[in-house]
């Protein structure tokens, strides 16, 4: 059985596990529904939120798609951190397509980017015991010029979180070159996931997606680790630096030890049609004395 076939079987099994879940994604949010999957370690958040779902093609003869999480890098008060986007990719080789988006920095949100040099991973093989992925050449076994040790570690976490999200399990990642064990940026050949609160942005918007059109009201959702689970949100006129025209907050399912889901209804019926920015934040109990809140913003159009 080929690597692509193995992964397709794993994803198909995940669809069965997810089919009985009660959480339905919104129209603008391709994130899969919550569900339980087998883990080899770590927390359960990825199983609930980072699963992949095979979706039927729109017409006979077209390629099926799968929704997978892809992790990019953005700025936060704590320094560069990981931000997640759910993306639809071809179901025949979703891991390779997810990593191609990740390494190129091809994010929908212009605030996100990547730490990877030009090139892409190859020979990806996902199993229950290990995820094997090949670096393109010898140059990726040491950190490229200008990449700090902290950036190298975060780049490795970009890879680990994306692959574990596709696999729906906290499986260890083995780096290889031409089929033999190798290092990634000098960090070693076997990688695991660091705690979410150490590497992920402390707030991340899942819905609305960047560029979404909304009217009346819409469901905003995401994950956060914010003081007392409070996740404030704002709608700003025009860009992220525009005038605040509406505010509110959501209460996440928890905080401190990891990122927890939050969801809220946002009424935009009183806003004039036009371009706005939806911003979710972490609560700032210091009243500006500290580094300030972490933000994630999405441009929306009110119709």
Model confidence at 79: pLDDT above 50:
yes
Q: Is the peptide bond before 208 cis (omega within 30 degrees of 0)?
A: yes
Architecture of domain 203-302: Sandwich (2.60)
> What is the average pLDDT across 9-25?
33
Strands, sheet with 203-207, edge to edge from the N-terminal-most edge strand: 203-207, 217-224, 260-267
Encode pLDDT of 158-203 as tens digits: 999 999 999 999 999 999 999 999 999 999 999 999 999 999 999 9
Q: Where are the domains of the chain?
A: 3-199, 203-302
CA angle 89, 90, 92 (to 5 degrees): 140
Query: To which H or E segment does residue 173 belong?
Result: strand 173-177
pTM of the predicted model as reported, rounded to 2 decimal places: 0.83
- 296 near 280, Cβ under 8 Å? yes
Alpha helices (H) along the chain: 3-18, 45-49, 94-104, 149-167, 196-199
Taking only the tens place, the pLDDT of each residue in 115-152 is: 999 999 999 999 999 999 999 999 999 999 999 999 99
Residue 215 scores a pLDDT above 50: yes
Q: In which order are the strands placed within the sheet that holds 81-90?
A: 53-55, 65-74, 81-90
């Amino acid at each position: 059985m080929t690597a692509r076939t193995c992964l397709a079987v794993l994803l198909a099994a995940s669809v069965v596990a997810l089919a009985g879940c009660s959480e339905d994604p919104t129209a603008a949010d391709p994130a899969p529904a919550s569900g339980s999957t087998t883990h080899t370690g770590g927390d359960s958040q990825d199983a609930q939120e980072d699963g992949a779902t095979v979706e039927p093609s729109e017409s006979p003869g077209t390629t099926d798609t799968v929704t997978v999480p892809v992790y990019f890098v953005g700025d936060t008060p704590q320094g560069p951190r990981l931000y997640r986007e759910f993306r639809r990719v071809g179901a025949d080789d979703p891991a390779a397509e997810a990593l191609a988006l990740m390494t190129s920095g091809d994010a929908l949100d212009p605030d996100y980017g990547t730490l990877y040099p030009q090139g892409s991973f190859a020979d990806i093989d996902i199993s229950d015991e290990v995820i094997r992925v090949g670096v393109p050449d010898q140059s990726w076994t040491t950190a490229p010029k200008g990449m700090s040790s902290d950036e190298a570690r975060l780049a490795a976490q970009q890879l680990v979180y994306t692959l574990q999200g596709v696999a729906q399990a906290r499986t260890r990642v083995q780096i290889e070159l031409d089929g033999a064990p190798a290092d990634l940026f000098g960090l070693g050949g076997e990688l695991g996931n660091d705690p979410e609160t150490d590497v992920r942005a402390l707030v991340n918007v899942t819905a609305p997606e960047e560029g979404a059109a909304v009217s009346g009201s819409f469901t905003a959702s995401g994950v956060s680790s914010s003081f007392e689970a409070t996740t404030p949100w704002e709608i700003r006129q025009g860009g992220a630096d525009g005038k605040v025209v509406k505010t509110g907050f959501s209460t996440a399912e928890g905080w401190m030890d990891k990122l927890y889901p939050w969801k809220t209804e946002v009424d935009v019926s009183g806003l004039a049609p036009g371009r706005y920015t939806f911003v979710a934040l972490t609560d700032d109990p210091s009243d500006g004395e500290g580094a300030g809140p972490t933000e994630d913003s999405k441009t929306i159009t009110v119709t």
